[in-house]
Structure 1
Amino acid sequence: MELVWLEDFSALAEYGSFVRAAEARHVTQPAFSRRVRALENWMGVELFVRTPQGATLTEAGKQILPSAQETARRLYRMRSEAQEVAGMAIKTLQFAATHSLSFTFFPRWLRSTENGAPIEAVRLHSDSMAACEQMLIQGHVQFLLCHRHPDVPPLLAPDQFMGKKVGEDVLVPLASASANFGSAPASLPYLAYTQESGLGRIVAHRLQGKEEFLHLKPLFSSHLAAVLMSMALENKGVAWLPRSLTEQEVADGRLVRALDESWDIPLDIHLTRPTGAISQSAEEFWTKLRDC
């Protein structure tokens, strides 16, 4: 048994695709497939149903997924605790944050949490929502900072993770001030988020069944809000962008509303952690945050 097998198992369960999961794990698809098969051989059962459309968990796979994820977290936590006790590791707080929050919200928020007592060390991992969720599930980080919407439940198991609201944001449909998409409704180009994006999940929920009503024409997609903002600034279309990311561009008049305020999407900013034990320094940070 190897720890990497459990991490691959969790990634494939999340993505449902060998290609996408292998990309997320930074390994070739054949090597990834061999490692998943090695885990199945060790277990003595098939964990996935493989089809041309992707991979889905078997009943056995569904049964062991929570235990596999918790085992990986426990092993990483054990290593961190041993290093701290031996004085080999600084008491570093490990955060995963989506790109849009890493750029703007995270630095200001972290300073506000110090409250006169500087945090010893912090490591920030910035990636897509799907990748950040995997980092938290696998125990590589203690905290996940992301946008949330009450109507779009997180993919993280509620009995394994808990969260706290630490801020607010809003998604606003914006376009370049100099954009001219023509008078025909069908000519409104749309800049969309990909499936790996947490904001994409939220926007997709809000627009479900309404794309034709808004006459949106998908033109470009990315999991990065910053990339969509750049495309919008280049007159390429309309994008739902976080206010926290676009304050300066809106203030300068470079980005303007493409739709009225009824199409805004209010968001919460959440910090999520495992319900199980985390390192002592992380527990102290969470307690201080909870008491604020």
Structure 2
Amino acid sequence: MDIRWLEDFLTLVEMRNFTRAAEFRNVSQAAFSRRIQSLEHWVGTALIVKGASPVRLTEAGAQFREEAAASVERLLGARAKIRGKQFELMSQVRIAIPNVLARSDFKTVLRMLGGKVRSSFSVSVGNTHEVTARYLAGDADILLCHDSLALPSPVHSEAQERLVVRRDLFAPYAVLDPARRAAFGFPGTPQAPFLLVAYSHRAYFMRLFDHILERAEAEPSYKITVQCDMSDVLKEVIAEGHGVGWLPASAVDAAAAALIGPIGGREWALDVEICAYRPRRALAPEVEALWRALSAEATRNGGAP
């Protein structure tokens, strides 16, 4: 039995969708399904209700979930202790980053740094509200997040040093198929509102969306079909043709760009920035080294404080 099977199972339980769980685990859906089947074969019974959408556990699956979570925690804890001495050779830098940037920008940071900064990294991931709260509570040294001068994030203050890592654009997207795009009737009328795939009201991107509507010359009419905090989920919903939704361009990778594209004019988009924040005081040497590397890269990319 492979511990990855348990991790796959727990991810599937959390996300309740084979496609999203496979993408999160960075494997093909076919390989992911085979690993779940291998786990069921090892356990000796079905853990997932076949054909259920969203994914549901069988009675045996519900019982096994608790044991699987405890086993993974114990095994990873034991491994962490064994690796502890090696891990302590490098000082740890704590980074908080929202889901929408975790896949693209953290990998970019790691590639950019290479061997320049001798540090290990602890990465906190969540929605923008969650990671911002962790950073402000002192649980992270550096925060990476979207920001807009039109609607500054709560971190934007004199107590924080701000670095523009790169520029981004928050704009509406829809499926590429011309007939389906036309059918949405964007930006809608009171008699025929367009279908909107939206962020929840607590999300920072929903505040940006509201700002775009407030400055618009003509008030759009819409009907919300789906609400979610995660841009990755909304991107999939948009690609399935369930409506028009706003996304940061950084969230639209090559695979998504083959299915969806911007819709409407420039008046429906908002310039935003991907920023790094740190407290305006002296920090540990490894954090200072990371910040210097970020600053140098931002300067090369045309970023500015």
Structure 1 and Structure 2 fold alike (TM over 0.5): yes
Tell me the residue number matched to 1:42: none
CA deviation map 1:230-259 (0-9, x unaligned): 11011111111121221314542x113331
Aligned match of 1:187 in 186, 193, 207? 193
For residues 269 and 256 of structure 2, the distance between their equivalents in structure 1, rounded to whole angstroms, comes to: 15
Check the 8 A contact 1:249/1:255 in 2, yes or no.
Answer: no
Tell me the residue number matched to 1:133: 132
> Which residue identity is paired with 1:162?
E
Check the 8 A contact 1:170/1:242 in 2, yes or no.
Answer: yes
| 3-state DSSP of counterpart to 1:208 | helix
Matched, 1:106 2:112: no
> What TM-score results when the alignment is normalised by the length of structure 1?
0.62
* Identity %, equivalent residues: 21
**How much has 1:268 moved relative to structure 2?**
0.9
* Structure 1 segment 141-160 matched on structure 2, within 5 A: 141-156=140-155, 158-160=157-159
For residues 158 and 291 of structure 1, the distance between their equivalents in structure 2, rounded to whole angstroms, comes to: 22
Tell me the residue number matched to 1:228: 234
User: Runs of 5+ in structure 2 lacking a partner?
Assistant: 1-86, 298-305
Aligned match of 1:283 in 288, 291, 294? 288
Distance 1:291 1:212, change over 3 A: closer
Distance 1:210 1:112, change over 3 A: same
Following TM superposition, where does structure 1 have runs of at least 4 consecutive aligned residues deviating by more than 4 angstroms?
A: 209-212
Aligned match of 1:216 in 204, 212, 222? 222
Backbone CA RMSD of aligned residues: 2.5
**How much has 1:88 moved relative to structure 2?**
5.2
Distance 1:177 1:290, change over 3 A: closer
CA deviation map 1:174-197 (0-9, x unaligned): 112243535574231111112332
| 3-state DSSP of counterpart to 2:292 | helix
Tell me the residue number matched to 2:93: 93
Check the 8 A contact 1:99/1:127 in 2, yes or no.
Answer: yes
> What TM-score results when the alignment is normalised by the length of structure 2?
0.60
For residues 198 and 95 of structure 2, the distance between their equivalents in structure 1, rounded to whole angstroms, comes to: 26
> Which residue identity is paired with 2:140?
V
User: Runs of 5+ in structure 1 lacking a partner?
Assistant: 1-86
> Which residue identity is paired with 1:101?
L
Tell me the residue number matched to 1:255: 260
Check the 8 A contact 2:171/2:247 in 1, yes or no.
Answer: yes
Check the 8 A contact 1:128/1:196 in 2, yes or no.
Answer: no
Paired residues in the alignment total 204
Check the 8 A contact 1:97/1:146 in 2, yes or no.
Answer: yes
**How much has 1:157 moved relative to structure 2?**
6.0
Distance 1:95 1:255, change over 3 A: same
For residues 223 and 215 of structure 2, the distance between their equivalents in structure 1, rounded to whole angstroms, comes to: 14
